[in-house]
Amino acid sequence: MCPGARSALDELTEVSARERRNDARTMVNIRGRYMLANKRNLKGDRCEFACRIVTMSVTGMVLAAPVLGAPGERVIVYSEAFGQLHGAISRLLSTGFAMSIAANEQTQERIASKLQWLSKQKESPDLSDSRRHARAVPKNPMATMLLADGSLISCLVIDFSCSGAAVSADLYPQIGTPLAVGKMVGRVVRRFDEGFAIEFTEKMALAEIERRLATSPAQAPGFRR
């Protein structure tokens, strides 16, 4: 990310706060995955991408997402906390989008109950992904990826460790492909439904990795194209 730029979560939170709704949104910042109705692969199957659900209410949510759809496009979102939900894009953001949630009264009650529970548990250290798991979740999940041909593409960092990161983007590179996420250089070592994993060429402290992931990759050191 360029120096002085606001984080994805700052922007998404600010946009959400400006919205005037009858139901209050709750900061949740949880991992999920999503599919866009009009985004399909060569086989005709819907593509799946990772996301972070930043804020949520019983009628809508804001996602930090690597691939955007068009306003009005249908979206299916899945998370461990809320299961599968669907709705439509209501607003595009530079780092994701806001969407409605199509739910009956029973589902809305379930969402409200879960949001209330999450709100009460926010101060518990046991809910911190970076403390509960060896892999850490970046405060700003959006990053820029540099490919070997010099092209840049937006991506979402699902999580990372001292040796690698899981990434989701509108790209499905082959294993062994060299690339840089921010200024962290590595190679693709594994692929999964909503993205791929890269192994860094060098290890360093988690705080330094997070800083480099959020930095523009234009001058990524050690990246040979």
Selected from 3.40.50.620, 2.40.10.220, 3.20.20.80, 3.40.1280.10, the CATH number assigned to the domain covering 132-216 reads 2.40.10.220
Name the β-bridge partners of 97: 63, 92
Six-digit token string for 18? 């400006």
Domains 8-126 and 132-216 share a fold: yes
The whole-angstrom separation of Cα 106 and Cα 32 is: 22
The whole-angstrom separation of Cα 12 and Cα 17 is: 9
The whole-angstrom separation of Cα 191 and Cα 188 is: 8
For the chain, domain boundaries: 8-126, 132-216
Q: What are phi and psi of 168, to 5 degrees?
A: -130, 135
DSSP 8-state assignment for residue 71: T
The whole-angstrom separation of Cα 10 and Cα 121 is: 21
Strand bridging mode 164-169 / 46-56:
unpaired
In this prediction, residue 130 carries a pLDDT of: 41
Six-digit token string for 37? 């109705």
CA–CA distances in Å: residue 93 to residues 90, 138, 148? 10, 19, 28
Q: Which CATH superfamily is domain 8-126 in?
A: predicted glycosyltransferase like domains (2.40.10.220)
Q: What is the pLDDT along the chain (225 residues), one digit of tens a residue?
A: 344 445 555 555 555 444 444 467 888 889 999 999 999 888 888 999 999 999 999 999 999 999 999 999 999 999 999 999 999 999 999 889 999 999 999 999 999 999 988 887 765 544 444 444 467 888 889 999 999 999 999 999 999 999 999 999 999 999 999 999 999 999 999 999 899 999 999 999 999 999 999 988 765 555 555
Q: Phi-psi category of 19—alpha, beta or left, where left has phi over 0 and alpha has psi -120 to 50?
A: beta
In this prediction, residue 190 carries a pLDDT of: 95
